[in-house]
Structure 1
Amino acid sequence: MKPFFLTSTAIALLASALPAIAETTENAPVTEVIVRGASSNLAAGAPAPDQKVPFSTSSVDIETVDIQGGLTLNDALRNVPGAQPDFSFTGVHSPVFMLRGAIADSGTGNSRVMRDGVRLSNYGYASAFVERLDVVRGAGALTAVRTEPGGSVNVVTKTPQPRTFASAYAQVGSHNQGEAYLDGNLVLSAQNELATRLILTRSTSSEWRDAKDKLNGLKWSISKSHADLYRVLFDFEATDQTYEPDFGVPGINGRPAKVPLTLQLGEPFAPSTLNNRIYTLQGDLRLSKNWQVSTRLLHADGHQTSIRNSVFSAVAGQPGVYTRATAYEPYGKRDTDSAQLSLTGTETFGGVAHNLFLGLDYQTEELALLSLRVPAANSPNINIFAPVFGLVTAPSGTLTATSTRMDVTTKSLTLQDRIDLGRLGLVLGLQYVDQDFLYGTTGVLPVQEDRVNPKLGVTYEVSSNHAVFGSYSEGMAPNQATSKLNQSLPSRISKQWEAGWKGRFLDGRFTGSAAAYQLDQSNLLADDPSTAYAFDKTLAGEGRSRGIELAANGEISNSLRLDLAYGLTEAKYTRNSELAGKSVANTARHTLSVFVTHDWNAFAYTGLGLYGQSKRFADSQNTIELPAYARVDLTQGFRMEMAGNPVRLQVNIRNLLDKDYYVASHLHVSRYILPAEGRSVSLSLKLDF
C-alpha cells in the first residue's frame, strides 16, 4: 500500500495549490462560465424528458457508485436492471457484461462500450474520469453506429465546469487494493468562457487471487464557449493498464471445483498490457432558437500485449490433472476513427410539435494482432488439488506466428421524429447502415452489408407524473468469426418488442419504472460440424430473451435514499445446431440490487446494500451450474470540513457476511469460472477545494 500513500500525499499537495494557481491566472472575480457537458440522447435522438422516451433507460451517476464503494464498470452496472457481469480476458479495468441476457460470446465484441457517444473496444475504465453512465436497454434503441444486442452502455466523462475547483481522493483496501486521483478544474478566462480540466489517477485492483491489475490514467480537456451560441471542446485521455488475466477455476461434476477460492492456477511468464490514447474534438453550434448542429471527431489508438496461461483440458484417468496452455500475443494495435454530425431541432406543422433528429456517422476500426504458438512443454500439466507451481517457462527460439486482422468500416444515416400530440407521443426512426467487415487470419474474405433498422415507439402520459410506453426496434452487431472457407460472417440481427411504465414521485426526487420485453436474435454463431477446427463457425443459431425489469431510484425523504434494480431474465437458444433449448450461460433468471442510504445528520451517513443472483449455468452446454448467492455490503461515511473545505471519510465493507460465490464464467467452456472476493474493507478520503 506504500505507493498509494505516496501518491495520495502528492495529490493532496497538488490539489491544495490549484486555487492559488487560479488566482494568479485572472485577478478579476470569477463569474459563471457557460460550459455545457456532452449529451447522450441515445434513445431519443433529440433531447427529451424520460417520460417521453418509449424505451428502457438507466442513468447512474458516479456519486451513487462511490457511496456504494464501487470502482469498476460492473460495480456501477449493479444499478441497472438486467445487467450481469461476464467473463473478461482483459483484466478488471476492462470488464465485459451482458444486458437482458443477450446471447453474447467472445466473438461479438461485447467488451465494447460507448464513450461520450462513440463505440470503443477494450476501453480502460477509470472511475475518476466518469460523470455518469447512460444505459439503453434493448436492441437498436440508439442513434450511434452499431447496436449491441442487449443494449448499450455510454460512459459520459467529465468535462470543464464553470467554476474553479479541485478534488483529491485516496482509497486503500484489502489485498493491496487502492485508488487515488486528482481532479482539477480551472477557469482560464471568465470573459472568454474558457475553462480547462485535468484528472490524474492511479488504480490497483484487489490481489486476493494473486492476479495483479494496475491502471494509470490522465485526462485533459479544454472548452471554449460563447453564451448559448457555440461550444468547442478538445479532450485527451490516456490509460496504461498492466494486468495478469485471471481464469478462475474449472468446473467438475456439474459444479465449480472444490478448491480454495484464492487458488490461482494461471502462471503467465510476464504481465499483459493495454495502453489506450483517445483524442476528441467536439463542437456545438446553435443555428437558431430551435435548431442546433453538433459534430464530434475522435481518434483512438491502442497497443496491447497479451500473455494468458490457463488450464486447458482434463487428463483422462487422472482426476484433477489438467493440461495447461499459454496464449502469447506479443503485439496488437487497434486504431479507431469516428466522425459524427447531427442536426436537432423543433418545428410545428399544423399545430403538431415535431422534435427532429438527423445523424450522420462514420467509423473505422482496424486491428492487427500477432500471435505466437508456445510449445506445450513450456506449460506442464497441473493437479488442481495438489498444485506444484513455478514450472511454467517463457518460450525461446523461433515460434510459429499467426496474424489476425479486423477491419470494419461503418456508415450510418439516422432519421428520427418525436411527435408531441398532447398526452400522446410518437417516435418514428430509421437507421440505414452500410458496413464492410473483415475478421480473420491472412487471406480472409470480407463481408459487405447494408440494412435499414426501424425504431417505433409510443408514449402516453396518464398524468403529469406517470406515463406508459411501447416500442419496437431492430439492430445489428458484427460477428467476429470466420467460416471454414476463411470468409468473414454476416452480422447478428436483433429485434425487440417492449412495453412499460415510468413514474415520478415526491416532486421528481424519486423515480420508478417497469418494463416487459422480448428480444430475438438471429445469425448467432455455432461450431461448424464439418470441420474439427474449433474456430471455424457457421450461422446456425437463434436466441430469445424474455424478461421483466423494475427500477426505483431517488430520495424517499430528506434523509433516506433508495436505489433498486431487479431483472427477471429468461434467455435461451431457440434454434442452434448444438444448443437448441439450452439456457444462455452466465445469465441468472433473477438479479436484484438494493442499496439504501440514510443520513443520520449533516455529519454521518450509513449505507446498506444487497446484491444477488439466482443459480445459472456456467457454460453453453449447461453442464456446470453456479449456485445462487446474496451479498451484503455496508457503507459508513462522515462529512466534515477542513479549513472551510468539504472532507468526506468513508469506510466500505464489501461482502459483509463473507459469502462464497462465483461472479462470472466463460460462455463456451466449463474450465473458466471466476470466484468472487470474500469480505474486504476499504477506507477512502475525499477532499474538495
Structure 2
Amino acid sequence: MPSPQAFISSQASSPKRLLASALGLALLPIAAHAADADAPKEDQAKKLEGVKVDATTVNSTSPKFTAPLLDTPRAVTVIPQAIMQETGAVSLLDALRTVPGITFGAGEGGNPNGDRPFIRGFDSQSSLFIDGVRSSGSQSREVFDIEQIEVTKGPSSAYTGRGSAGGSVNLVTKAPKAQNFVTGSVGVGTDNYRRGTVDWNQAVNDDVAFRLNAMAHENDIPDRNGPDFSRWGIAPSVTFGMKSATSVTLSYYHLQSDDTPDSGLPYNNPFAATSPNAGLNGNGEPIKVPHDTYYGLLKRDFQKQKTDVGSIRLQHDFGGGWLLRNTTVYSRVTNDYIWTQPDDSQGNFLVNGGIWRRNNNRISAVTALTNQTDLTGEFETGAIKHSIATGIEIGNEKTHRSSYSVDPAVNAADTHNTGSIVNGACTRKYGIGAASNYWCTSVLNPNPNDPWSGLISGGLNPVRVTTDTRSAWAFDTATLSEQWLLNLGVRFDNFRTRSTSVTTATNAVATLKNDSNFWNYQAGVIYKPVSNGSIYLSYGTSSNPPGVDAGDGSDAIALSNADLKPETSRNLELGTKWDVLDNRVSLTAAVFRSEKTNARVALTGVRGGPMANVGEQRVDGIELGISGNITAQWQVFAGYTYLDSELVKASPAAPGDQGNQFPNTPKNSATLWTTYAITPALTIGGGAYYMDKVYGNTANTKWVPSYTRFDAMASYEINHNLTLQLNIQNLTNKYYFDKAYASHYATVAPGRSAILSANFKF
C-alpha cells in the first residue's frame, strides 16, 4: 500500500496542492494532541466507534418538520455519515443505493448527464436540495462535505416547492462545531483508485469555530476499459456566535471534476413493423457483449464540471423555543461535455455488426441566488400545544446553455457523421473505422483509442433561461393530547420562467414563457399508542410546472408545453413508526398511493409536437425500513419497497402504452447494510442490493434485467486514532445495469473493486 505521501504526490497539480495544504493545516492541531499519546487507554468496550448502546435514532434538519421524525406523517429516510463511510460511498449515487425505491435515470439529449434520481417512479432531478435550499444545475454530487442525506418520499411540494412529485433529497453539509477535532481518510484500491479527505474543526474561542473539509479523488471505472473519474473539492466554513443568541455562519464550497464518461451499451432494439429491419427484431434488453466493452472515444469524449456555492446563514434565538433563520445562497454550476451514446436506433448492430458513436453534448452554466427565511416556535392555545414553522423564499436562477458542433459535414452529400440506415456511416456508403472518421465502430471489438481529427466548435444553438420564484409557507403540529397530534401545512408559489433560444443555422429567435401560481398542502393525523410509537394517515400534494428545471434538466420549457398548467400530484399514505430497543432501532412501514392526474403527454408522435395535460399516472406501494443498533455489536440499515406503477391514461399518440409500467420503476427493490463488531477492534460488514426488472420507456419494449449485488467490509482499529477499512464492492463482479434510458442505451454498473482506507481521527 502506498504511503500517504506517495498518494499525495501522485495527484494532479491542483488536487495535490489542495490536499497537501489541507493535511498540513490539519496537522497543526494534531501536534497539540501528541502529548496525550501515552495517556491510559479507555476501556475497550467504550472504544468501539459507531457502536452505541444509547439512543441512535436520527432526525431531519428541516425546519419545516415541526415534530421529530417519529411524529412526522411522512416517509423519510435519513442516511447518516457513518453509513456513507462504512459502505465506501463517495457520490450521491453511491449513497442513495442504500435506499430502496430509488433508481437513477440516464442522460441523453434534453436530459443532461448528471444526478437524476427517480423516487417512487417520478423524476426528481429538479428536487435536490442542500441545507434546505434548492440545488440548481445539472451536476454529479460528492459527499465529502455531507453530514447526512435526507430523503422525503411522496408528493411534497408543500415542503419544497415546485417538482417533488416522487419526493425530494436534501444534503446536509458539515457545519462548525464547538470542539476541536481532525478526521479524514487516505485510500487506495484497484482500478487506480486514490482518494484523500480531511475534516478539520477548530474552536477559535468560546464564540467562534472554523471547519475545513477537503478532498481529492481519482479512479478508473472497474472493468469498463476507458472511463474514469478525477475531482477535487474544498469546503471551508466559520461560525461567529456559537454560544450567543445571534450567530452567523459563512461557508463556501468548490468542487471541480474532469471525467471520461461511460458510454454504456445499446439495446437490442425491437423494430417497428414498418422498419426495413422488422424481421431482425431484438428483445429490447441491452446487447450481450463482454463487461469491459466500451464504445466511447477517449480522444473525443470528456466531461468537466465545476460547482461553487457561497452561503450566509444568520440565526437568532428569541428564547422560549422561538428561532429565526435567514439564509442567502449564491451558486454557479457549469457542466461541459461530449460523450458517446452507442446508438443502434438505425439497426447497424443487426444489419452489419456496427455501432454508431452518436455524440451527446452540452455547455451549460447555471447561476442561482436564493434568500430564505424560516421562523419556528411553540405556543399554546388552551390545552393544545402548537409547534409551528413559517417562511418565505425569493429565488432567481439563470441558465445559459449551448451545444457543440462535432465534426460537421463538408457539404450536403457528406453523411459520414450521421447514423442513417440508408447511407450512414455504418452501412454501404461509409464503413467501420477510418472511412467514417471513426463515428462507427465494431460491436464486438471497439477500440476506444481510435484516432479523432474531427473539428469541434462550441456555441451552437444558445439558450438563455431566467426563472424567478416567490414562495411562502406555514406548518403546524398541534398536540391535541398525549395520543393525538394533527399536522397541517400549506405553501404558495409564484413561478415565472422565460426562455430565449437562437437556432444558429437560421438565426431564428424563439421566446417562450410560463407564469404559474400554485398552492400545495400537507395534512396528517398521528396516533401515539405509546410514547415510542406512532401510526399516521397523511395527504400531500405537489405541482410541476413546465420549466421546473430552470433550463438545465429533463423538463425544460418548450414550444409544446409553454402554455400548459403545472402537473399536479397527490399522495395518500398510511404508516407507522417505532423507536424500539431503548430507542436504538427505528422501524417504519407505510402503504401509499401516489397519483399524477394531469400529466403532460404528447398529442402526436412527432417529437416537439403539441402536448396537453391529459395523462394520468398512479403508483401503489409498500415500504418497510429498519435502522439502528440491534445490540451493542450489531448494526442494521435496511429497507424494502414494492411499487405497482401504471400509466392509467397514456398519450393519445401511444394508446398502447396504457396500463404499462412506469419507466425506471422496479416492482420490488430491497437494500441491506449490516455490520458486526467481532471484537472491540475488529468489525465486519456486508451489503446486499436487489433491484427488479426496470423498463426504459413507456412502451415497455426497452428494459434492463433484475440484479442482486453484494458488498463486503472489514475494519480494524489499530489504536484510538487510526482505523484500517477494507471495502470490496460488487463482490461477485455482477454484470448489471444501473441506468436505463428510454430510447437507445443503458449504463453498465462498475465491476468488482477493492479499496483499502486508513481513517484517522484526533
Q: Distance in 2 between matches of 1:294 and 1:366?
A: 25
8 Å Cα contact 2:139/2:335 also seen in 1: no
> In structure 2, what is the Cα distance between the partners aligned to 1:401 and 1:199?
38
Measure the CA separation in 1 of the matches of 2:713 and 2:307. 33
Q: CA deviation at 1:397?
A: 7.9
Report SS of the residue matched to 2:295: coil
**2:134 corresponds to:** 119
Matching residue of 1:457: 524
Q: How many residues align?
A: 660
Q: What secondary structure, in the 3-state scheme, does the structure 2 residue paired with 1:287 have?
A: strand
What is the letter of the counterpart of residue 250 of structure 2?
A: F
C-alpha offsets along residues 423-442 of structure 1, whole Å, 9 cap, x if unaligned? 10001111111101235634
Query: Counterparts in 2 of 1:307-456, with a 5 A limit?
Result: 307-312=338-343, 313-315=345-347, 318-329=351-362, 331-374=363-406, 375=408, 376=417, 380-390=439-449, 393=452, 395-396=454-455, 401-422=460-481, 423-439=483-499, 441-442=501-502, 443-456=510-523
Distance change (3 Å), C-alpha of 1:489 and 1:646: farther
Kindly state the Cα deviation for residue 391 of structure 1 after the two structures are TM-superposed.
5.0
One-letter code of the match for 1:503? Answer: W
Deviation at 1:611, TM superposition (A): 0.8
Distance in 1 between residues matched to 2:264 and 2:108, nearest whole Å: 11
Provide the rounded CA distance (Å) in 1 between the counterparts of 2:565 and 2:33. 54
8 A contact 2:669–2:691 mirrored in 1: yes
The equivalent residue for 2:44 is: none
Shift of residue 41, structure 1, vs aligned partner: 4.6
In the TM superposition, 1:86-485 aligns within 5 A as 86-88=105-107, 94-102=114-122, 104=123, 110=125, 112-121=127-136, 122-140=138-156, 143-190=159-206, 193-208=207-222, 209=224, 210-225=226-241, 227=243, 229-252=245-268, 253-254=282-283, 255-267=285-297, 269-312=300-343, 313-315=345-347, 318-329=351-362, 331-374=363-406, 375=408, 376=417, 380-390=439-449, 393=452, 395-396=454-455, 401-422=460-481, 423-439=483-499, 441-442=501-502, 443-479=510-546, 480-484=555-559
SS at match of 1:444: strand
Looking at structure 2, the residues matched to 398 and 335 of structure 1 have their Cα atoms a distance apart, in angstroms, of: 24
Indicate if the aligned counterparts of 1:417 and 1:427 stay in contact, CA closer than 8 A: yes
Query: Does the 8 A contact of 2:405 with 2:457 survive in 1?
Result: no
Partner of 2:83: 64
- Structure 1 distance, partners of 2:457, 2:259, is 26
Q: Would the aligned equivalents of 1:223 and 1:233 in 2 still touch at CA under 8 Å?
A: yes
For residues 8-57 of structure 1, give each alpha carbon's deviation from its aligned partner in whole angstroms, at most 9, with x where no partner exists.
Answer: 9946554323345899xxxxxxxxxxxxxx99554x72542222111111
Q: How does 1:519-668 map to 2 (within 5 A)?
A: 519-529=594-604, 532-534=606-608, 538-577=612-651, 578=654, 579-641=657-719, 645-666=720-741, 668=742
Q: Which amino acid aligns with 1:256?
A: P
Find the counterpart in structure 1 of residue 38 from structure 2. none
More off after superposition, 223-232 vs 179-188: 223-232
Asked if structure 1 preserves the Cα contact closer than 8 Å seen for 2:252 and 2:308, the reply is yes
| Structure 1 alignment gaps of length 5 or more | 24-37
Contact map agreement 2:106 2:113 (CA 8 A) in 1:
no
Query: Would the alpha carbon gap of residues 53 and 39 (structure 1) be closer, same or farther in structure 2, given more than 3 Å must change?
Result: closer
- Residues of 2 paired with 1:398 and 1:596: CA distance? 50
Distance 1:184 1:251, change over 3 A: same
> Contact (CA 8 Å) 2:266, 2:286: kept in 1 or not?
yes
Query: 1:314 and 1:279, CA in 2 relative to 1: closer, same or farther beyond 3 A?
Result: same
Using the TM superposition, give the Cα deviation of residue 399 of structure 1 relative to its aligned residue in structure 2, in angstroms.
7.5
Corresponding residue SS for 1:67: helix
Change in Cα spacing, 1:64 to 1:328, as seen in structure 2 (3 Å) is: closer
3-state SS of 2:576 partner: strand
Match for residue 34 of structure 1?
Answer: none
* Deviation, structure 1 residue 205: 4.1
Q: Secondary structure at the match of 2:237?
A: strand
Confirm or deny: 8 A CA contact 2:516 2:545 kept in the other structure. Answer: no
One-letter amino acid of the counterpart of residue 110, structure 1: Q
Judging changes above 3 Å, is the alpha-carbon distance between structure 1 residues 46 and 560 closer, same or farther for their aligned structure 2 residues?
closer
Measure how far apart 1:533 and its partner are.
Answer: 3.8
In structure 2, what is the equivalent of residue 679 of structure 1? 752
Alpha-carbon distance in 1 for matches of 2:313, 2:162? 20
Aligned to 2:71: 52
Give the distance between the partners of 1:66 and 1:276, measured in 2 at CA. Answer: 23
Go from structure 1 to structure 2 and tell me whether the alpha carbon gap of 1:342 and 1:242 turns closer, same or farther (over 3 Å shift): same
Moved more, 314-323 or 159-168: 314-323
Which has a greater percent of strand?
Answer: 1
Asked whether the 8 Å contact 2:126–2:163 carries over to 1, the reply is no
Q: CA 1:503/1:602 → structure 2, altered by over 3 Å: closer, same or farther?
A: same
Per-residue CA deviations over 1:508-535 (Å, capped at 9, x if unaligned) read 00110001111111443434526x4458
Alignment deviations for residues 524-563 of structure 1 (CA, whole Å, 9 cap, x no partner): 3434526x44587554422111110000000111111111
When the two chains are superposed, the root-mean-square deviation of aligned CA atoms in Å is: 2.8
- Between 490-499 and 606-615, report the one with greater CA deviation: 490-499
Report the alpha carbon displacement of residue 489 of structure 1 after superposing the two structures with TM: 4.7
SS at match of 1:256: coil
Q: State the percentage of identical aligned residues.
A: 23
Quote the Cα distance in structure 1 between the aligned partners of 2:98 and 2:644: 19
Amino acid paired to 2:472:
L
Alpha-carbon separation, structure 1, partners of 2:242 and 2:637: 38
Cα 1:175–1:525 shift into 2, 3 Å: farther
Distance 1:562 1:381 in 2: 49
1:82 aligns with 2:76: no
Residues 392/415 of structure 1: CA separation in 2 closer, same or farther (3 Å cut): farther
Instruction: Name the residue aligned to 2:420.
Output: none
Render the CA deviation track for 1:310-352: whole Å, top value 9, x for unaligned.
22333466243233322343x4221111110111111101121
Output the TM-score relative to the length of structure 2: 0.81
Q: 1:60 to 1:583 in 2, by over 3 A?
A: same
| Letter matched to residue 302 of structure 1 | V
**Contact 1:482 1:536 (8 Å CA) reproduced:** no
TM-score (norm 1): 0.90
Tell me how far apart the structure 1 counterparts of residues 101 and 302 of structure 2 sit (CA, whole Å). Answer: 33
Contact 2:404 2:456 in 1 (8 A): no
Moved more, 485-494 or 168-177: 485-494
Contact between 2:211 and 2:237, CA under 8 Å: does it hold in 1? yes
Residues 624, 320 of structure 1: alpha-carbon distance in 2 compared, 3 angstrom cutoff: farther
